[in-house]
Structure 1
C-alpha cells in the first residue's frame, strides 16, 4: 500500500500533531517518577528529529497505561516522559499538564519552528470528574475533532496502537486534511505488510506461545499465505493430542483438539510440528527433565521443543527468503527450557545473513532476540504486540487505514 509518509509533507511553519507510542514503564526514584526503559522513546526520535529539522512545530501525544479512576492519573502523567525526551533530544520539551483547554491551546500557538511540546496522557480523557467515559478509547467524535483542530497536519508513528480505533489516531485522521506515517509506522507497513501481502518465497512463518485459541486466526491466515508454518510452544501439545499422542500434564486446550485435527488434515506438509519435547516433572527451572519422542510420560509436561525438533525447524528455515516469527518455542524465561527459542533466534541470524527478510513480532519473541543479543542482526523487530498479531491475521488496522494514500 502506498501511504503518505512524513517525507512527503511540507513541514516548515506547520503545527505537526504526532501520535507517538510512549507507553513506557515508569519507576519511582527519590519520590519522583522516572522512565525505567526508554526504548519506545528512542524508536520515535528519527521522526521527531526529522519534523524539527524541517521547521515543523511538533505537538506530541501518547497514552500511558490504563486510566480507570481519578486516582490512576498522578502516577501515569507524561511529565517524566517529557523530561526523558528532552534529555534524548538535547533541547527543551514543553510539557503541558492538560489534554484540552486554553493552557494547551496557548502553548501550542506559542511554539516556534523546530520546537517541541508534549501534552498529557491521552487516556486522561477516559475518566472525567470520576466517571469512566472512555472518550479516547471509544473514539469520541468531539474529542478527535478537537485534537485535530490543534494542528495543521497529523503524523502517526504509533504502530503499537494501530489496531485500535481511538480518538488520538482514527479520530484525528477523520478531521484533518493530511495524515502521514512516521518512519516507525512506515517500516512496520513495509515489513509486516510486505510479508503478509507480497512475500519473497519460500515464506516460512513460526508461531509459538501458549494457546491455540490466541493465535488460531493467525495460523489459519498464514497457512493460506506461507509455504510452511512451524508451530511450537505450549500450543503444540494441543496438536500433539490431536494426533493421538500422550502429552502428560502438558498445557493443552481440550476444546481446540478437533480444530487442530482439521488444521492438520487440511494443511498437509505445510504445517510443521515438533517431533520431540523437553518434558519436566514440574514448572520450574530445576525440574527433573528428559527428552520425550512421541508420548510424554504421566506426571511430566512439555516445556520446550527437543533437539530433533530444533534440527527439523532449522532445515525448514534454511532456504527461506521471508520469515515471520511470533511466539517462543518453550518457557524461555527458564534457562533449562530456552534452548528451542534461542536456537530459532540464532537460525534467523543465519538466514538473514544469506539475504532473507526476517521479522520478529510479539513481546516474548522480541525479548528472546534481545536476550540473545541479535535484535540488530535481523531485518525488523515489530514495535506492536497486538497490532502485529492483528496484521498477521490479515485484519485491517484502523490506525493504518486512516493514513492518507499517496
Structure 2
C-alpha cells in the first residue's frame, strides 16, 4: 500500500499511540469472543519486541458519551495479558491527568490500554480538540483498526492532523491487501455473493462489482425486491418498494451475470425477536403464496450456487442467504459457507466481508478454512463499493 507502515518507522523508546478494534462482545463482564483482540496481536507484539511503549485505544459498543460500566474495556486486559504473555496496564479514562501520568510511567516494551473512547461524544464527532489531547499521548500514531477505518472519527482521522508519522498496522495492511487484490487483480472466474436484508445497503457494492465479476449471486431478504422487479409475486416477503425500479435496472445491466435463487424456504409466521417461525415449506421462487414470506434459499438454489462456486477461483461473500439467526432457516447460509470452504480447499481465494457472513462461517465451523475473514463489516463493504476509507486516507504517504 502507498502508506507508511509500522515496518517503516523506528519505535524503540517511543510512545506508540495505537488505534485497535477491541469492540468485542461481553457476557457477564467477560470477553465472549477474543477474535478482534487476537487480530491485533501481530502489531502489538512487533511494537513491544522492538521496545515501543504501546498505548492502545479503542471503542466498545455505543455508550453515546456516557460512562457505562457494561461497555468498559477493562475486561480486555486479562485476555490481552494472556495472549501477549505480559502484564497489560489499564487506565479508566482516555484523556486527562490520570492518563498522562500512566503514559509517563511506561517503560520500553510496556503496554497500556486506555478506557473506551466513546465515553466521549467528541470521538464520533471527529472533534479536533479531543483528537489533539489523544495525539499528545504519543510520538507516533498507528492505525490497526480496519473495522473503524470507514469512520472519520477523532481517533482515526482528526488525530492525524496533530501527530506524525501516522502509519498502518499489520491488520490494516492485511485487510487492504486482500480486498485490494480482490478488486484489482482477481483470478477468474471471480464470483461475488451478496445477501442480507436490504438492497439499499448493497447498491454501491453491486454497482461497483458488476463490471468486475463473472457472476454475482444474490440471496437474502433483498432477493425478493429483485423478484418483484421481474414481476413475480412474493407474498409477505421483505420488499423495498422504492428500490424495485433500481433492481430492474441492475438486472438489465447485469444480464446473466446476476444469479438469483430459483427456490426458497417460506413460512406463514416469523417472530424474529423470539427466534420463532411457523410452518416451513420449500417452493419455487415464482410460487410464493399470499400471506407467506421467504426466509431462506431452497435446496435447488443451494445446488445451483454450489456448482458456480465449485469452478470459481476468487470468491467474495457479504451477507447471509436467509434468516440464519434461526436454525431452521440457516441451512442456505451454512451451505454457502461450506461451499466456500470446499472452494478454498480446491485452490480458490475466498474472502468474507465481515459482519453477518463472518458470524455465519464461524457458526458453520469453517472460519479456519477460508482464505481471509475480514474484521470489518462496514469497512469492507465500503471498500468493495470503491469508497475511500477516511482512516486509511489520513495515514502518512510513503
TM-score grouping bracket, smaller chain normalisation: over 0.9
The answer to whether the Cα contact below 8 Å between 1:306 and 1:340 also exists between their aligned partners in 2 is yes
| Partner of residue 27, structure 1 | 27
SS at match of 2:123: coil
Q: CA–CA distance in 1 between the matches of 2:285 and 2:226?
A: 15
Q: CA–CA distance in 1 between the matches of 2:64 and 2:102?
A: 28
Among 276, 286, 292, which residue is 1:294 paired with?
286
Q: CA–CA distance in 2 between the matches of 1:293 and 1:10?
A: 59
Supply the RMSD in Å over aligned alpha carbons: 1.7
Structure 1 unaligned spans of 5+: 127-134
- 1:246 lines up with 2:241 in the alignment: no
Q: CA–CA distance in 2 between the matches of 1:199 and 1:288?
A: 39
- 1:263 lines up with 2:259 in the alignment: no
| Partner of residue 16, structure 1 | 16
SS at match of 1:58: strand
Among 385, 402, 405, which residue is 2:394 paired with?
402
Q: Structure 2 length as normaliser, TM-score?
A: 0.94
Deviation at 1:113, TM superposition (A): 0.8
Matched residue count: 393
- 1:114 lines up with 2:76 in the alignment: no
Q: CA–CA distance in 1 between the matches of 2:378 and 2:281?
A: 33
Q: CA–CA distance in 2 between the matches of 1:287 and 1:361?
A: 32
Deviation at 1:255, TM superposition (A): 1.4
Alignment of 1:361-400 (within 5 A): 361-400=353-392
Deviation at 1:69, TM superposition (A): 5.0
Q: Residues 44 and 210 from structure 1, CA distance in 2 versus in 1: closer, same or farther, beyond 3 angstroms?
A: same
| Partner of residue 276, structure 1 | 263
| Partner of residue 182, structure 1 | 169
| Partner of residue 200, structure 1 | 187
| Partner of residue 96, structure 1 | 91
| Partner of residue 273, structure 2 | none
- 1:352 lines up with 2:344 in the alignment: yes
Alignment of 1:312-351 (within 5 A): 312-351=304-343
Deviation at 1:384, TM superposition (A): 0.7
The answer to whether the Cα contact below 8 Å between 2:354 and 2:376 also exists between their aligned partners in 1 is yes
SS at match of 1:167: coil
Q: Structure 1 length as normaliser, TM-score?
A: 0.92
Deviation at 1:293, TM superposition (A): 4.5
The answer to whether the Cα contact below 8 Å between 1:16 and 1:58 also exists between their aligned partners in 2 is yes
Q: CA–CA distance in 1 between the matches of 2:322 and 2:160?
A: 41
Q: CA–CA distance in 1 between the matches of 2:153 and 2:160?
A: 10
SS at match of 2:200: helix
Q: Residues 325-382 of structure 1, C-alpha deviation per residue, up to 9 Å, x if partnerless?
A: 0011112222332221111111111221222211111322111111111101111111
| Partner of residue 64, structure 1 | 60
